[in-house]
Structure 1
Amino acid sequence: MENKSAFSLFFFVTLFTCLAAAIVNNDHILLPSQLHRDKSPSSSSKCTAPDPNLNQRPVIGILSNPGDGCSGRLSNSSGVSHIAASYVKFVESGGARVIPLLYNESPESLKTKLSLTNGLLLTGGSAASGPYLEALQFLFQAALERNDGGDHFPVLGLNLGGNLLIKIVADQADVLEPFNASSLPSYLQMWINSLEEGSLYQKFPSDLFQLLMSECLVLHNHIYAISPYKLQYNKKLSSFFDILATAADRDGKIFVSTARGWNYPVTVNLWNPEKNAFEWATSLKAPHTENAIRVTQSSANFFVSEARKSSNRPDYQAVRDNLIYNYKASYGGVAGKGYDQVYLFE
């Protein structure tokens, strides 16, 4: 006890001596934020203003697909449609919001909702005909007209959505051919123009771009595609699309994986960037490595950066009234297959 008391007395005497010395020398105790003032921004510095020519509140329209997206596990209603939540999260991760475009609503309603957006995402799925194809074709034509009218309005067609754009541009129902590329992790064969202005890969980090050609960082999940030979020798397709990347199926057959419009900001992409980060079905083989997640992020950044170039500035309240936040996502992945989450629309 005596040793403890002596130690306490020594501690307080030492502390008092230090404080007294600080007062005599007119010193004061500094906070961590006050240290290294010479490296801190001056009080007169200001944040750089955003580019006024860019839309910092972009909105993307996503076309819904027929059915519940979960093989009837959530709804068997004939009028139901869905959007996989992974596509919504993909868009949001790039810094945009989503307005759902229901394939079975009237053309007038689709056009009104499209007028509130700055870009269009056409997703994968299974529907390839009937009212869904009619709605997709209607929206695609409206998107081209927006661009013709002077608005930079990007369109991204993923997997089936991309294949349908190829069929529409070719105006040929049998332009696609079968490929063995269902649930196929892949690397890509980049073409010489894959880094040109407006390309999906333009803003990829250089190391990631190189890894895309050597590691299986993307998931192809389709049974139809088009060969580069067939696209290049189809006058309608070759005058509209420029090939950016190809890939090989399980049998070694080469197909067009990514293409972009020569004169329109339209991208066809047969691999699914959203699945790397947001889909976990054990029936799929989506890569989930850190680099695969970077692929998702870089793809989302590209698409949304294109949407920011849109000159459309819709009414804020009209946008809020139609956002997908007005709906709730349903968990459909409990069976370990299909989409993990879907938005359902009656």
Structure 2
Amino acid sequence: MLRIIIASLFISSVISATTKPTIGILTNPSDLKDYDKSLYSYFPSSYVKWIEQAGARVIPIHWDSSYDEITSILNQINGVLFTGGDVDLYLNNTQPGFTFNKFTDTASFIFQKVIQFNKAGKFYPLLGICQGFQLINYIASSYYEVLTRMTDDLGKQRLLEVNSEEDSFVLKSIDSVTLEYLKNVDGPYYSHNWGVVQHTYEKAYSLGAFFKIIAYSRDGVNLKYVTICEGREVPIYGYQFHPEKHQFEWITKATHDVQHITYSQQLAMDFIAMARKNDNTISDEELAKLIIYNYKQINRMEIPNTSFSQVYLFDRNRNETKSDLQQLGIYQNIKFFRKRH
């Protein structure tokens, strides 16, 4: 019954719960060679532009914030985005016990909170792109090592292979002409060395129980991997590809033709349409303190071998020490997936 209710919410045409949606974007530890990760975090500006052109505001969620800070933000915004990046997602096995790195810890906490919000009746979308796609698959797998090495998929466009056995709210948001183009002529843009293959969904039972596979692509040696996944019961979903780069990154090989701009815009509009169903609100005073406009944008156009025209850079001035509440959140999350799946 729950799946029927959630599915109806995905495609509902009811009046929006908010006309001023706000999206939280999780920052990444810096992998920029000239900005050390011990001092800085960041995310590419293209994600902010992608969200804003669909009619929403952006607040950064700092990966090294306390859980109390993150919970306060989540209670005021309407959706969350996990971006691409180059972070080691896996467990930190150098520490005693079942622990994992702070970045994944924070993402896992957000993932768990989004599940809780949805199960309590508040529609709350979470989208992962590229690294963010891998991150939500890793968390949903109960921390199984989900990633498989890809070949020659850095800066490539690959055709979409749609899984006709599953119904999809993502594919419904792309018009039929554009979708046929992505399936048969020139697909989305990828920039990744790792991916998730179907066999992993079969081995990590909780992963397949949580997500359904919507589409695949193939790497340079024809290895088939998952490229769109959607939550079966909650609006947590992901793309291995980069829709934002077709519109807003000009130093990559992503094409800027009408078909790719169209699908990018349609996916952004769909994400924000879901966020509009969430009735959280944020005061003008709080928004002014937290909004992305408070942070500096860095021009990267002249940096050799870069993927980003601009990035938002954030000073690292937060406490990474796990509190008792944070540690409790980790174990509750693991317990949830193990019991349920």
Counterparts of 2:302 and 2:37 in 1: how far apart (Å)? 20
Is there any run of 5+ residues in structure 2 with no aligned partner, and where?
1-12, 90-100, 316-341
Q: Does 1:144 align with 2:106?
A: no
Check the 8 A contact 1:217/1:291 in 2, yes or no. Answer: no
Cα deviation, residue 306, structure 1:
0.9
1:111 maps to what in 2? 71
What does the per-residue CA deviation read over 1:118-144, in whole Å, with 9 as the maximum and x for residues that have no partner?
Answer: 000001101124221111111111111
TM-score of the superposition, structure 2-length normalised?
A: 0.80
Identity %: 28
Q: Does 1:55 align with 2:18?
A: yes
Residues 313 and 51 of structure 1, relative CA distance in 2, 3 Å threshold? farther
Of 76, 81, 85, the match for 1:125:
85
Amino acid at match of 2:209: S
Q: Does 1:288 align with 2:261?
A: no
Residues 311 and 215 of structure 1, relative CA distance in 2, 3 Å threshold? same
Residues 95 and 53 of structure 1, relative CA distance in 2, 3 Å threshold? closer
Cα deviation, residue 322, structure 1:
0.9
**Structure-to-structure mapping, 1:249-288, within 5 angstroms:** 249-281=219-251, 284-288=252-256
Amino acid at match of 1:226: V
Counterparts of 2:119 and 2:220 in 1: how far apart (Å)? 40
SS in 2 for 1:333: coil
Check the 8 A contact 1:182/1:222 in 2, yes or no. Answer: yes
2:29 maps to what in 1? 66
Counterparts of 1:280 and 1:147 in 2: how far apart (Å)? 37
Counterparts of 2:186 and 2:303 in 1: how far apart (Å)? 26
2:178 maps to what in 1? 208
Check the 8 A contact 2:166/2:212 in 1, yes or no. Answer: no
Counterparts of 2:242 and 2:203 in 1: how far apart (Å)? 26
Residues 260 and 271 of structure 1, relative CA distance in 2, 3 Å threshold? same
Check the 8 A contact 1:60/1:118 in 2, yes or no. Answer: yes
Of 223, 245, 263, the match for 2:193:
223
Check the 8 A contact 1:219/1:286 in 2, yes or no. Answer: yes
What does the per-residue CA deviation read over 1:238-291, in whole Å, with 9 as the maximum and x for residues that have no partner?
Answer: 11111111001010010000010000101121001111111122xx32121121
What does the per-residue CA deviation read over 1:287-314, in whole Å, with 9 as the maximum and x for residues that have no partner?
Answer: 2112111121111111111101112223
Q: Does 1:186 align with 2:155?
A: no
Counterparts of 1:172 and 1:327 in 2: how far apart (Å)? 33
Of 307, 314, 320, the match for 1:345:
314
Counterparts of 1:173 and 1:94 in 2: how far apart (Å)? 35
Counterparts of 1:79 and 1:112 in 2: how far apart (Å)? 24
Check the 8 A contact 1:128/1:164 in 2, yes or no. Answer: no
Counterparts of 1:207 and 1:77 in 2: how far apart (Å)? 43
1:331 maps to what in 2? 299
Amino acid at match of 1:294: T
Q: Which moved more, 1:296-305 or 1:76-85?
A: 76-85
What does the per-residue CA deviation read over 1:69-92, in whole Å, with 9 as the maximum and x for residues that have no partner?
Answer: 5321xx346221112100000101
Counterparts of 2:277 and 2:141 in 1: how far apart (Å)? 28
1:82 maps to what in 2? 42
Check the 8 A contact 1:217/1:287 in 2, yes or no. Answer: no
Pairwise CA RMSD: 1.8
Counterparts of 1:275 and 1:266 in 2: how far apart (Å)? 21
Structure whose alpha-carbon radius of gyration is higher: 1
Residues 287 and 169 of structure 1, relative CA distance in 2, 3 Å threshold? same
SS in 1 for 2:59: strand
Amino acid at match of 1:55: T
Check the 8 A contact 2:26/2:61 in 1, yes or no. Answer: yes
**Structure-to-structure mapping, 1:88-107, within 5 angstroms:** 88-107=48-67
Q: Does 1:165 align with 2:133?
A: no
Q: Which moved more, 1:147-156 or 1:186-195?
A: 186-195
Counterparts of 1:222 and 1:255 in 2: how far apart (Å)? 12
Is there any run of 5+ residues in structure 1 with no aligned partner, and where?
1-49
Check the 8 A contact 1:124/1:158 in 2, yes or no. Answer: yes
